Amino acid sequence: MVKKFDEVLKEIEEDLMKMADLCVEQIEDAIKAFTEGDIELAKQVRKKDNEIDLMEIEIEDKCVKAIALYHPVSGDLRELMTAIKISSKLEKVGDNASKICKILLKSNMEGKRKNELLIVMKDYLVNMLRNAMISFKNRDEKLARDVYEMDKRLDDLYEQLYRSMISKILEDPKNLTLATEIIFAAKYLERSGNIVASIGDRVVYMITGERIKEEELEEKMNQ
């Protein structure tokens, strides 16, 4: 028996929420492993990244089959295309968490890598991602726009961390390895912030048919 289109959409939405939850878990565990120097946890995060990759493939396959079977138009088509885009972006967020663990696993430095700003960045990113997915689930245009704007704060936090690490290196060159590894880990969080912001942009497109980036470009051209 062929499922109703609404049932398929609901199933895809639930799959995306599960994928996002796993990404949150991966971000949390990656930073915990990195800061604590937990090699075993880092290996688990790297291994679990395969689950996220598989989820992206499955969600895309469901969306493509739904388009072929139901021939959706307008808002329904935008929703399926948005689901494909979001799954791809979540996969990249998962990759970045895995890459943070790779820094630890390839490092010759033993011990912990405690850094308050790194934890603040992680918490902020997790909040961004949760809000992005809530905006998708609830069709909340305002929240999606807020998520897009939140990325600026994450960029500022990265710049603050970067400057503090450079200062540590200048104070004592022995801090080079530690500071450099923290900068790289923070950069992966910052990149994930850019990706999550683009989820907000995509949700706005799903709801309105307009992209935030297009609106910004039009504003610049009219200035």
pLDDT score recorded for residue 3: 77
Answer for the pair 181, 162: CB distance below 8 angstroms, yes or no: no
Helix axes 116-138, 74-106, angle to 10 degrees: 160
Question: pTM, whole model, 2 decimals?
Answer: 0.93
| Confidence at 2, pLDDT banded by 50, 70, 90 | low
Topology of the domain covering 5-222: Methane Monooxygenase Hydroxylase; Chain G, domain 1 (1.20.58)
For 22-38, b/e burial (b = at least 16 CB within 10 A) is bbbbbbebbbebbbebb
Residue 169, pLDDT score:
96
Q: pLDDT by residue (tens digit) across 73-127?
A: 989 999 999 999 999 999 999 999 999 999 999 999 888 898 999 999 999 999 9
CA R_g for the chain: 19
| Residue the block writes with tokens 């011990």 | 111
Q: What percentage of the chain reaches a pLDDT higher than 70?
A: 95
> Mean per-residue pLDDT for 5-21?
96
* C-beta separation of 121 from 186 below 8 A: yes
Q: What percent of the chain has pLDDT over 90?
A: 89
State the burial class of residue 6 (Cβ atoms within 10 Å of its Cβ: 0-12, 13-18, 19+). Answer: exposed
d(CA 198, CA 196): 5
